[in-house]
């Protein structure tokens, strides 16, 4: 029992969440927004650079600089980091980081006198990282599926059909377009394993939760699949570390953080996992049944399941749960918060006015519908931006606001069917889950209560809980996952949003029309 730190390196920010497992409370929660601090230095917007043709990258050196700023902020606030017994972490999924042969020595010899940024600038064989928003690899997806013996073969082997954002297709594209830089790459990691490597001061492998988002991991054995690696790029096994079991500490924290921020020498580091797998833990989904909704930069709907269920149509993804035994089924949308912001900004509103518009307009929007593909969409697969308005006048700001939220909620209902789960409640997280009027639409579309939690940073909370669980196992105590998550996964009393029968009936009638409109304008 003690203090545990969770770090979530996400698309737009990096967050630290500190828990006291004895007092069963969150004692610190701090975020560094990338645009606020680094937009000029790195030329990013919303945490990323868009390079046309669906290419979306970010800057791994910026993530390191942001990590320093985050820890400095915690230290300046007076948090006693020497009491942290273990650190767990989470990263935006699928993004790949490419390191050269200098990385190992640089990580091992970090001086607490100089910031990470100055000491890591030379370790990259590729200075940018393609991230989950990148949709530029349709060709590579097709090639990988053929390479392993077809789409069904890849699905059976890895649990997933090929997705543009997944790491394997991104690595293949890098090998094809920059073969020299690929040859100079000594190690390929994911966002999660890269941040873990910075903290451990040595290269740390990818965990099964994030490994399952690569199209390269055998979902049954939770190890890299040589067949999938061969279909992806040459010599790839040499550039990857073995998969690191999610619950086993990889060693103590690097002396850099001891000297610079006052962590204890013996503070342990757990392998990091993906943000969605960590949210699964942070929301307490350690047994099959409950379903959660994350409204972050991406919107995701996910559930804990006990048997690997796959999505043949390519609507859903299957990941290993970092609890070591279960799986998670997930549907991911690219047009989440940034699409909501596109509408908010189109009508020059703030979130208060946006929320008022939802209060002023009726469920069903008088028949006005929108397909909100401001950017290419993952589900359904929409390769280029395409915003469709049906019975909807673009000049009517309030109706457009209701239309986008209803579209997102209706789509989450349509594309959750593959999971074959009866959704009887939704646990919510992510920045937009602070907005009760958005959640009301989801409660009515899914006809179930929506539960809210103390933190909207469930990925960082899940990372801290993973640290607590992993550390306690090293002390010989046989703590269960249920015991670990329970004190932190109670919904806020009185905050549940219940479905309203009249609105439920409206959406029951509307969902078919939405699906029809979606089919008409997409190949799905």
- Binding residues (CB under 6 A) for ligand ADP: these are 10-13, 296-297, 337, 340-341, 351, 430-432, 434-435
Q: How far is the CB of 143 from ligand ADP (least distance, A)?
A: 30
Please say which residue, 66 or 240, places its beta carbon nearer to ligand ADP. Answer: 66
The H or E element that residue 258 is part of is helix 255-261
Please say which residue, 131 or 229, places its beta carbon nearer to ligand ADP. Answer: 131
Considering the rule CB under 6 A, would residue 165 count as an interface residue with ligand XUL? Answer: yes
Rounded CA-CA distance 339/210 in Å is: 25
Considering the rule CB under 6 A, would residue 125 count as an interface residue with ligand XUL? Answer: no
Show contacts with ligand XUL in window 195-234 (CB under 6 A). 213
Six-digit token pair at 254?
Answer: 């690097």
Please say which residue, 278 or 399, places its beta carbon nearer to ligand XUL. Answer: 278
Count, in order, helices (H) and strands (E) of the chain.
Answer: 20, 22
Show contacts with ligand XUL in window 302-341 (CB under 6 A). 317, 330, 332
Q: DSSP characters for 322-385? A: TTSS-EEEEEEESSSHHHHHHHHHHTT--HHHHHHHHHHS-TTGGG-EEEEESS-BTTTTBSS-
Listed ranges 87-95, 307-315, 364-372, 470-478: which one lies at the site for ligand XUL (CB under 6 A): 87-95
Residue 160 CA, distance from chain mean position: 17
Please say which residue, 274 or 363, places its beta carbon nearer to ligand XUL. Answer: 274
- Work out what residue 434 binds among ligand XUL, ligand ADP, none; the CB cut-off runs from 5 to 8 Å by kind: ligand ADP
Listed ranges 43-51, 115-123, 168-176, 268-276: which one lies at the site for ligand XUL (CB under 6 A): 268-276
The verdict on whether omega for the bond into residue 380 sits within 30 degrees of 0, i.e. cis, is yes
Q: How far is the CB of 486 from ligand XUL (least distance, A)?
A: 25
Rounded CA-CA distance 408/411 in Å is: 5
Please say which residue, 177 or 359, places its beta carbon nearer to ligand ADP. Answer: 359
- Work out what residue 197 binds among ligand ADP, ligand XUL, none; the CB cut-off runs from 5 to 8 Å by kind: none
- Work out what residue 365 binds among ligand XUL, ligand ADP, none; the CB cut-off runs from 5 to 8 Å by kind: none
Query: Greatest CA separation found in the chain?
Result: 64
Please say which residue, 275 or 323, places its beta carbon nearer to ligand ADP. Answer: 275
Q: Kindly report the backbone phi and psi dihedral angles of residue 266, in degrees, each rounded to the nearest multiple of 5, phi listed first.
A: -90, 5
- Find out whether 268 and 247 touch, Cβ atoms under 8 Å: no
Rounded CA-CA distance 459/465 in Å is: 10
Q: How far is the CB of 62 from ligand XUL (least distance, A)?
A: 16
Please say which residue, 194 or 481, places its beta carbon nearer to ligand ADP. Answer: 194
Residues 417/423/428/431 CA torsion (nearest 10 deg): 20
- Find out whether 110 and 201 touch, Cβ atoms under 8 Å: yes
Q: How far is the CB of 503 from ligand ADP (least distance, A)?
A: 20
Strand partners, 6: 17, 88
- The SS3 call for residue 451 is strand
Rounded CA-CA distance 362/502 in Å is: 11
- Find out whether 301 and 486 touch, Cβ atoms under 8 Å: no
Q: How far is the CB of 44 from ligand ADP (least distance, A)?
A: 12
- Work out what residue 172 binds among ligand XUL, ligand ADP, none; the CB cut-off runs from 5 to 8 Å by kind: none
Q: How far is the CB of 10 from ligand XUL (least distance, A)?
A: 6
Please say which residue, 310 or 361, places its beta carbon nearer to ligand XUL. Answer: 310
Six-digit token pair at 208?
Answer: 């099964």
- Contact mark string toward ligand XUL, 45..84, x via CB under 6 A: ----------------------------------------
- Work out what residue 165 binds among ligand ADP, ligand XUL, none; the CB cut-off runs from 5 to 8 Å by kind: ligand XUL
Please say which residue, 268 or 339, places its beta carbon nearer to ligand ADP. Answer: 339
Q: Which residue is nearest to ligand ADP (CB)?
A: 431
Tally the residues of the chain. 524
Considering the rule CB under 6 A, would residue 132 count as an interface residue with ligand XUL? Answer: yes
Within 8 A by CB and 6+ apart from 111, the residues are 119, 256
């Amino acid at each position: 029992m003690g203090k545990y730190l969770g770090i979530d390196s996400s698309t737009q920010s990096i967050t630290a969440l500190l828990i006291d497992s004895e007092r069963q409370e969150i004692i610190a929660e701090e975020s560094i927004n990338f645009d606020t601090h680094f937009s000029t230095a790195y030329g990013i917007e919303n945490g990323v650079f868009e390079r046309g043709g669906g290419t979306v990258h970010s800057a791994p050196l910026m993530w390191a600089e942001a990590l320093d700023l985050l820890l400095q902020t915690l230290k300046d606030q007076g948090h006693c980091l020497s009491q942290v017994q273990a650190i767990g972490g989470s990263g935006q999924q699928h993004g790949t980081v490419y390191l050269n042969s200098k990385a190992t020595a640089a990580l091992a010899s970090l001086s607490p006198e100089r910031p990470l940024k100055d000491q890591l600038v030379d370790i990259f064989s590729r200075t940018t990282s393609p991230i989950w928003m990148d949709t530029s690899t349709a060709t590579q997806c097709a090639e990988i599926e053929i390479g392993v013996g077809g789409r069904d073969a890849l699905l059976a082997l890895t649990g997933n059909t090929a997705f543009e954002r997944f790491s394997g297709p991104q690595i293949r594209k890098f090998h094809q377009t920059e073969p020299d830089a690929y040859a100079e790459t000594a190690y390929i990691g994911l966002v999660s394993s890269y941040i873990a490597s910075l903290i451990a001061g040595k290269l740390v492998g990818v965990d099964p939760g994030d490994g399952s988002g690569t199209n390269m991991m055998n979902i049954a054995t939770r190890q890299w699949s040589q067949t999938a690696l061969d279909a992806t790029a040459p010599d790839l096994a040499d550039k990857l570390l073995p998969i690191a079991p999610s619950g086993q500490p990889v060693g103590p924290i690097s002396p850099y953080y001891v000297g610079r921020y006052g962590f204890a020498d013996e503070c342990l580091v757990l392998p990091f996992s993906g943000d969605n797998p960590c949210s699964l833990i942070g929301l307490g989904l350690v047994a099959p049944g409950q379903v959660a909704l994350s409204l972050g930069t991406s919107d995701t709907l996910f559930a804990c399941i006990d048997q690997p269920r796959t999505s043949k149509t390519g609507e859903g993804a299957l990941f290993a749960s970092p609890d070591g035994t279960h799986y998670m089924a997930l549907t991911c949308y690219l047009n989440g918060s940034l699409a909501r912001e596109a509408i908010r900004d189109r009508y020059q509103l703030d979130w208060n006015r946006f929320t008022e518009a939802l209060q002023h307009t009726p469920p069903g929007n008088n028949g006005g519908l929108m397909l909100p593909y401001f950017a290419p969409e993952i589900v359904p697969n929409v390769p280029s931006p395409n915003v469709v308005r049906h019975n909807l006048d673009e000049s009517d700001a309030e109706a457009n606001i209701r239309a986008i939220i209803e579209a997102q909620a209706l789509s989450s209902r349509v594309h959750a069917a593959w999971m074959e789960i009866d959704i009887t409640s939704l646990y919510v997280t992510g920045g937009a889950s602070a907005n009760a009027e958005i959640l009301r639409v989801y409660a009515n579309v899914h006809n179930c209560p929506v539960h809210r939690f103390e933190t909207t940073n469930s990925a960082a909370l899940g990372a801290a809980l993973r640290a607590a669980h992993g550390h306690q196992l090293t002390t010989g105590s046989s703590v269960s996952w249920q015991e670990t998550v329970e004190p932190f996964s109670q919904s806020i009393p009185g905050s549940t949003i219940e479905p309203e029968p009249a609105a439920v009936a409206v959406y029951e009638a509307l969902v078919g029309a939405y699906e029809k409109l979606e089919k008409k304008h997409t190949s799905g």
